[in-house]
Structure 1
Amino acid sequence: MISEILKSRPGNDPFFAPNDVHRRSIQSKEIDVLTDIYQEEINIAVWQRELSDDIKLAVSDFLNANPEFQKAMTVTPQSAYSSLSSSLGKVSYSGLSENIAELVDIFCCLFDLKRAGLRLVVLNKAMCPKFHVDRVPCRLICTYQGEATEWLPHHLVDRKKLGRRADELVDNLSGENKRKLKKLNSGDVALLKGESWQGNENAGLVHRSPSLSGGESRLLLTLDFAG
């Protein structure tokens, strides 16, 4: 069913977006919002998903038992569940493995990919604290527990103060406007259009990792295109 919903995406060229169009976000509690990433003006599509209590419990237990977990692998929709189950270990984490495998299936179906680059990490500090863009066509991000990714609307970004040019600048001089700062919620599934999406040069979504309080942990999943 999910595959059929995602296959109904618009028929335009999936990696072309004229660079002179306005960029904006879109959010919905319905899964088919993810297909809107194909719209020319969309540079972030967010499926506002609520995790089940069982998944939340499994994630909390996993974080407590694996405070330094780091795993990167290339998976197919067919191999994702078994690869994740092997990596996560306990049978009690099977629901989490199934949940992540479903996202792999969605991601690969949406972009006609045979495989995806999967990264699942436990973080106790901001991994990418500066505002930046990703040099990828599109990346899926989901925070299963903890503070989630922060991002800025396209029209508020000063791109002259991003990346290396922001190394000596505090965040309020590297593109941040706290009144307009946007934030994903734990459980949300977001597609972030990057600089390598054809026609999206200088329009990739500007985002950063959230700061974490002492003792706080975050479980982050990312999916990328894999050759």
Structure 2
Amino acid sequence: MSLALETSAGSVAADVFMGRDADILTEIASPGVAAAIWQRTPEPGFQSWIDGLGKDQLPDLRTVVPVHLAEAAVITACETSGLKASPERDVLASDIGALAVMMAKILAVDHVRLRLDVADEVMCPKFHIDRVPARLLCTYRGSGTEYVPLGSEAGPKRIRRVKRGAAALFRGTLWDTDETTGILHRSPEVTPEDGPRLLLVIDPVA
């Protein structure tokens, strides 16, 4: 059942769908859905590994690639940062590659824009909607992205947080329907306890 709101400007997609199966991400194309979140729990060994890395070892990446080269681009970024080959590094690269393939399939594109942001301060502190058709976010280290219904930004009790390791697909302002996106998101605070945050961002490229 959709919770899309009717306004004078048309309908507003306000639903957030969550599930433990990757197919939940395809729900982003359903009427009334502003975000779809694939709930995942990182394997403890992988999480301990990535949490123990120094900031300079975390891969920093900005590139546009054919979707089948996304995994290779991450491996190159890891090598550039001095992150030595290991089973955990392979897990990181293959996971990002798989998420890129899913995103590209859902949005029907052949290329994606990949970003791995390493940050020890808040990057986007204000709630916003991205100027893209859709954006996939996955926090591998640190606190997950926060989101809130449009118009509820001032109500702390309405704010929710994507869990670390979960893949969240948010509609942007360029989503190709008559619906307005009714879910905003922002970066969380970065705490000294968590250390630098590592965030994956994937955008479709037409």
Structure 2 CA distance, aligned partners of 1:85 and 1:69?
9
Partner of 1:168: none
Deviations 1:177-201 (A, max 9, x none): 1111111110010000011112356
**Which 5+ residue runs of structure 1 have no aligned equivalent?**
1-17, 159-174
Q: Which residue of 2 aligns with 1:76?
A: 66
Whether the 8 Å contact between 2:59 and 2:77 is mirrored in structure 1 is no
CA distance in 1, matches of 2:178, 2:91: 36
Alpha carbons of 1:200 and 1:150: their partners in 2 closer, same or farther (altered >3 Å)? farther
Separation (CA, whole Å) in 1 of partners of 2:57 and 2:85: 18
Q: Does 1:40 align with 2:31?
A: yes
Runs of 4+ in structure 1 off by over 6 angstroms are none
Match for residue 205 of structure 2? 226
Amino acid at match of 2:203: D
Among 74, 77, 91, the residue aligned to 2:85: 91
Work out which of the residue numbers 135, 141, 165 in structure 2 matches 1:187.
165
**1:111-126 aligned within 5 A:** 111-126=107-122
Whichever structure has more strand as a proportion of its residues is 2
Aligned equivalents of 1:94 and 1:207: distance in 2?
A: 29
2:156 is matched with: 178
**Percentage of matched positions with identical amino acids:** 29
Please give the residue correspondences for 1:204-219 in structure 2 after superposition, counting only pairs within 5 Å: 204-214=182-192, 216-219=195-198
| 5+ residue gaps, structure 2 | 1-8
CA distance in 1 between partners of 2:187 and 2:23 (Å): 26
Contact persistence 1:152–1:181 (CA under 8 A): yes
CA RMSD of aligned residues (A): 2.1
Q: Match of 1:44, SS? A: strand
Give the secondary structure class of the aligned counterpart of 2:50: helix
Give aligned pairs, total.
191
**How far apart are the structure 1 equivalents of 2:205 and 2:24?**
23
Does the Cα contact within 8 Å between 1:150 and 1:208 map onto a contact in 2?
A: yes
Secondary structure in 1 matching 2:67: coil
CA offsets 1:136-161 (integer angstroms, 9 cap, x no match): 1100000011111111124xx16xxx
Q: CA deviation at 1:22?
A: 5.0
CA distance in 2: counterparts of 1:77 and 1:138, whole angstroms = 16
Contact 1:67-1:122 at 8 Å conserved across structures: no
Task: Quote the Cα distance in structure 1 between the aligned partners of 2:69 and 2:34.
Answer: 29
Contact kept, 8 Å, 1:142 with 1:189, in 2: the verdict is yes
Q: Secondary structure at the match of 1:78?
A: helix
Q: What is the TM-score when the length of structure 1 is the normalising length?
A: 0.77
